[in-house]
Structure 1
Amino acid sequence: MTVISLYQPYATLVVLGLKQFETRSWDTHYRGILGIHATSTMPAWCRNLCLQEPFRNRLSAHGFRADNLPLGKILGTVNLVDTQRTEDWLTEKGEDIDNFVNWYEQYLYGDYSDGRFAWEFQNSRLFDVPIPAKGSLGFWKFNLDNE
């Protein structure tokens, strides 16, 4: 399985289907199932996000807080279906007034600075039991048969 590591609380929000876009400084041609791994560390700025809205309410609705988010584990999968430049994403979503609340929340979950890329996720799946894994930068491979 192809996997990418994300800081918490982003990793949990992704596998819960609440964070539908991941913003990155690089684009990818990869499409398909992608494992979501929570890094083994959680910087202070990430812990602080868990106290802010909409992070706090979204996490607490699923029983999560900064002190009980899983770390160093593959949490689930998503389907990476598309990528686009953040400038294009902002233009497209800015014109979709009917869904403003949803798109604004997605905006709060990412860095939509110029020159970045928004990766669109669908069909998120949270594993019943997260899989311990070391993680790595960029995409990396994990063999589910050897867990």
Structure 2
Amino acid sequence: MRIITLYQPYATLMMLGLKTNETRNRRTLVRGTLGIHAAAAIPNWCRLKMNEASFKSALKDVELPTGKILGTVELIGSMRTEEWLLSQSDIIEGFYTAAVWNEIAFGDYSANRWAWQTINPTPFETPIPAKGSQGFWFFDLPNEVIQQD
């Protein structure tokens, strides 16, 4: 299975369905099932982000496993962040919902970036230990995990 490594708390936020876009500096043509791996280390900048109100609220009483494949999502497309933001605004009222504000808080929606859009977060009952890598990488999941879906 194709996997991508994310730092915590972003990997867990994606598995909770609170983060549906992974924002990157390039688009992707990859589509389909994608495993979400939590990196082994949590950088200081991520620890600082976890002190922000939106993160504290979303992560209250939530465990943040590291060095493990947490589950899967379906990667359905990529869109420029500017376009994604426009698509989320209520045209008449000109506002965002609370869920969109959280999505913005959990990503980098600055200009000239891409939102990799995902749906159907499916956490594994037991996260799978794995080393991880930058970019996309591949991992053979155990049969019992594949049959769980």
- TM > 0.5: yes
Matches within 5 A, 1:62-73: 63-64=61-62, 68-73=63-68
- Which secondary structure state, in structure 2, belongs to the residue aligned with residue 35 of structure 1? strand
Distance (Å, rounded) in 2 between the aligned partners of 1:113 and 1:47: 21
1:22 shift after superposition: 0.9
For 1:129, the equivalent position in structure 2 comes to 126
In 2, distance between residues paired with 1:57 and 1:100? 16
Q: Among 104, 108, 111, which residue is 1:107 paired with?
A: 104
Contact 2:78–2:114, Cα closer than 8 Å, also in 1: yes
1:10-30 residue CA offsets vs partner (Å, 9 max, x unmatched):
000001111011101111111
Moved over 3 A (4+): 95-99
- Report the 3-state secondary structure (helix = DSSP H, G, I; strand = E; otherwise coil) of the residue aligned with 2:58: helix
Deviates more, 1:94-103 or 1:84-93: 94-103
* Residue aligning to 1:94: 89
Residues 91-100 or 34-43, more deviating: 91-100
Q: Give, in angstroms, the shift of residue 45 of structure 1.
A: 1.5
The alpha-carbon deviation at position 51 of structure 1 amounts to 2.0
| Residue segments in structure 2 that go unaligned for 5+ positions in a row | none
The unaligned stretches of length 5 or more in structure 1 are: none
Kindly provide the amino acid, as one letter, of the partner of residue 92 in structure 1.
S
Provide TM-score, normalisation by structure 2. Answer: 0.88
Q: Specify the SS of the correspondent of 1:54.
A: helix
Partner of 1:105: helix, strand, or coil?
helix
Any idea what SS the aligned residue of 1:144 has? coil
Measured after TM superposition, the shift of residue 52 of structure 1 is: 1.5
Corresponding residue for residue 37 of structure 1: 37
Instruction: Quote the Cα distance in structure 1 between the aligned partners of 2:48 and 2:118.
Output: 25
Identity of aligned residues (%): 48
Q: Deviations over 1:28-73 (max 9, x none)?
A: 111111000000110111112222221111111xx22xxx411110
How far apart, CA to CA, are the structure 2 residues paired with 1:98 and 1:127? 35
- Specify the alignment match of 2:135 in structure 1: 138
